Structure 1
């Protein structure tokens, strides 16, 4: 592969990277990823599905999405579910060192992966802004949020559309093709005149919408939220502040390494005289950082849903009703039937009295 042809391909941790003189073999990295990545992706897929399916079930059967935060949380859980469902395909690819599926599935999996990752990040920004309005602008909160609640679903649709648009290069350029004797599912830019420009555009959009915009919203909103909570005369404020700090720190810990690698990749794009040792280090760090970023979708249900007392109570009602329903099938009894009935009545009462300004940070 000469230096001109190399521009048409995206550098990955799977294959050798062209330098000025000769390809830099990344076989050591491939041996590492054959073991590490499939195990990590499998665990993220299992726990991500469990946590986010629980969130969707809770909204579907008990806590109706009646506040803006509820709508955002439900959409974020859906995006996380769709995202983790793509991970088994990449786990197989890393384990076998080749893309064993079709070209259509290649485009579909890459596209779903990109759309849902970007959508999840943008929804975090929406949640941050909604929490800012509900807590910092508390006096205006009811009027503003009641007026905009009807549009929350429209906001989510817009977020999904933006995610699809910024992910369109992923659908366009990713395809299955032969590279160094292997079938790969990676971007190929032979159909455009300026391949490096298109690659940089894709990386730039991913960095902007997948990190910098959510980071900007979270930093602005949560700084004012913490300031408001510190000034509030509320016995629960210290726990609420800890929740806010945990949300921000987890986001930074999961996303900064991955986006730093993307930034380094963007800076080095098109350079053909990169040292082999540096490329190996970037490949190792890139794989670990990517796994860390994907771990965020497992933590979202804990940070944004189950950490709230009201949401936990709804989920416990699900567990209680499921247990009672199973007991009633095996051994019908008055006690379990009464518990089930009381749980159902409590659910109905809770749904009626639940107010629209309930916060995820209310413990």
Structure 2
């Protein structure tokens, strides 16, 4: 593509000492060829299985759904769609982009929509937890109203994610590098206005993918912890540990990637700095991607009732093969799970949630 500036990992021109010096990223590309395909394959398998189990559980086994369950279901769907783009990137980084220009735009757009949607739904889960635990007196009215408009709320999240991902679609392109390798990267016209669009695209990515969800989660979960500390409940420490885990995992997975991303946007770099940041960017990016695998573990698998549903899924799978598991084998596990019911005192109107800790 002529007269464009790109974010390819192959060749960068950095300016220092008042001269433009060509900077080869061949070593970075070789690293990505070795590192990314197996990592993406692992995330694909692990994340796909976990999120499919969440969808099956919430769709087929959970009869009464509150807003947290609905957000978790949508988040699992978003994570699945995001995960389905990873094989394209694995093939791309192993060799080159072989799926033509339209697929380049489409895959990058799908990736952006579902990554943003997953992050926004994390914020929605935090808001719903805040209403259920902190705003107890208003909880029933607010959450009943939310359930009445659940389709509109979830649809709005998807639409907002799509709108903020339009820039990704517009400024994505498949083109041939100087070494005749086809790449699928962000591509901006070589003009001053294009630089502004590039900055705007990165600001949107950082804001939607990290800053906004983090601010909402920090406020909501800080208020939740304060409320739990004041509650006279024997299970409050376990609940607090789960809340702290949610925030810490989010920060560990998302903060490094967004810090590196922001640094590359606002700072002019020398060749070696650019190479180092390229390594850092792709390593922290895989960590951010791995968060979609952890969502089912953190938000659902630790839930008391979800473990019961999971055992029921396993039992049904065995019975499908005419080898039913005696319920006696599940009695101990079931009793252990329901022994945690005391915790529901803290979650007044929310005792049937798969998020119950």
Does TM-score exceed 0.5, indicating one fold? yes
Are 1:320 and 2:319 counterparts? no
Give the superposition deviation at 1:41: 0.6
How far residue 337 of structure 1 moved from its aligned partner, in angstroms, is 9.4
Q: Out of 17-26 and 219-228, give the one that drifted further.
A: 17-26
Segment drifting more, 285-294 vs 183-192: 183-192
Unaligned runs of 5+ in 2: 339-343
Alignment of 1:344-359 (within 5 A): 357-358=350-351, 359=353
1:16-56 alpha-carbon deviations (Å, 9 max, x no partner): 21023221111111111111111111100110000000000
Q: State the 1:193 CA deviation.
A: 6.1
- Pick which of 78-87 and 275-284 moved more: 275-284
Equivalent residue for 1:174, pick from 160, 164, 172: 172
Deviation digits for residues 42-83 of structure 1 (CA, Å, limit 9, x no counterpart) = 100110000000000111211136200011000000000000
Deviations 1:161-214 (CA, angstroms, capped at 9, x unpaired): 000000001111111111212211112222976110110110010111111110
Quick one: structure 1 residues 337 and 245, their matched pair in 2 at CA, closer, same or farther if it must change by over 3 Å?
closer
Deviations 1:260-303 (A, max 9, x none): 111012103xx4xx311101110110010000000000000011
The answer to whether structure 1 residue 362 and structure 2 residue 338 are counterparts is no
Looking at structure 1, the residues matched to 301 and 65 of structure 2 have their Cα atoms a distance apart, in angstroms, of 17
Shift, 1:119, TM fit? 0.4
Deviations 1:305-354 (A, max 9, x none): 111001111111111111122125xxxxxxx49859x99xx9xxx9xxx9
2:79 is aligned to: 80
Normalised by the size of structure 2, how large is the TM-score? 0.89
Residue in structure 2 matching 1:126, options 112, 124, 127: 124
Question: CA distance change for structure 1 residues 285 and 65 in 2, over 3 Å: closer, same or farther?
Answer: farther
Q: Which aligned pairs between 1:50-199 and structure 2 lie closer than 5 A?
A: 50-64=49-63, 66-96=65-95, 98-180=96-178, 181-190=180-189, 194-199=193-198
Q: Give ranges in structure 1 of 5+ residues lacking alignment.
A: 329-335
Q: 1:209 to 1:65 in 2, by over 3 A?
A: farther
Deviations 1:61-114 (A, max 9, x none): 111362000110000000000001000110111111x21112111111000000
Q: Note closer, same or farther for the CA distance 1:321–1:262 as it changes in structure 2 (3 Å cut).
A: same
User: Quick check: 1:176–1:185 contact (8 Å CA) kept in 2?
Assistant: yes
